[in-house]
Structure 1
Amino acid sequence: MTFSIPNLLSLFRLATAPLLALVFLVPENQNIANIAATALFLLAASTDFWDGFIARRINQSTSLGALLDLLADKLLIVTALLLLLDAERAPVGACIFIVGRELLMSALREWVAQNGKSSTVRVIAVGKWKTGLQMTAVPFLFYAGDLWALNTLAVGVWLLWAAAALSVWSMLSYCLALWRNE
């Protein structure tokens, strides 16, 4: 394995998922847990931008790096959503759409790879917006309190539903692109 900075950032994001569960579930004081989970998630989410940016900037984009990035994103989001569902802060329907899309896309990527059609499952803009909305919604839901005059829980729920809508849209876009190339 190449221990480049982008790959190390993705590995950090992978390792953050179980750590996120610990900082959210273990503390006795829920306010401390909320703040710690919010901060940790924001730190991990920021590495999603930086690993890709650095890899492109120093020309270190690799198939391993792409896989690590994909796995890290999925593990981080699914872990966060499960924790938030358990805390009754995330709407079940939105989580089902988001996780269902991720499972379907993983299966689709596997099928496409086996059939030599990997160019039809490239990242599209709506997929990036979906990820951005998810990464924005989750910290609001972890914080779950008032921030200035803002009810972060309400904002987080709204953003998560928007991310769920984009999840369905991006999934349909990928499926349509695959169908057209079939």
Structure 2
Amino acid sequence: MTRVRDRQRSLVYDAEELVRTMFDRADQRGMRTVEMLGSTLTLPIERRFGSIDSVQAYADAVLGLRWIRARWPRASDPVRVRARKGAAAAHYERDGGVIAVPGYSGGTAWAMRELVVLHELAHHLDPAPDAGEAHGPGFTAIVLELVAEIIGHEAGFVLRAMYAENGVRVG
């Protein structure tokens, strides 16, 4: 069986890392106002999670939203959140609908945050990855919609700008 190359994967990860860094710096400095592309924005608060159970509750709540269920049929398929052993990445397992998130390690929990969980939920909602590409244009469109509608339109604007800056195609 031949695997399809996920051409946008590193571009998507790089763009999303920049967005997470912006949110981290806003939290550290207590200053949520940023200037971007000639616009002054106030970054919304991004939810952080203290446990795998709280990530599960959040994922269930997002998938239970009426507009999510109306927009993506796969929202009615349950997702199970589990702890991931490695601390380097979160991931989604399409078979079984499992989101694996690294928990707290060494006093940090980089993945126990809303931006990461919405990324993984977008994998779950994606009806058919573009030509087998897990991070293709259809997927990035779902991530953008989730971020804009759930975290806030300013967060969606920042993510869209970082995607464009990094050459990420959006469907």
User: TM-score surpassing 0.5?
Assistant: no
- Name the one with the larger strand percent: 2
Higher relative contact order (CA 8 A, sep 6+): 2
TM-score normalised by length of structure 2 = 0.28
- Name the one with the larger helix percent: 1
Greater Cα radius of gyration, structure 1 or 2: 1
TM-score normalised by length of structure 1 = 0.27
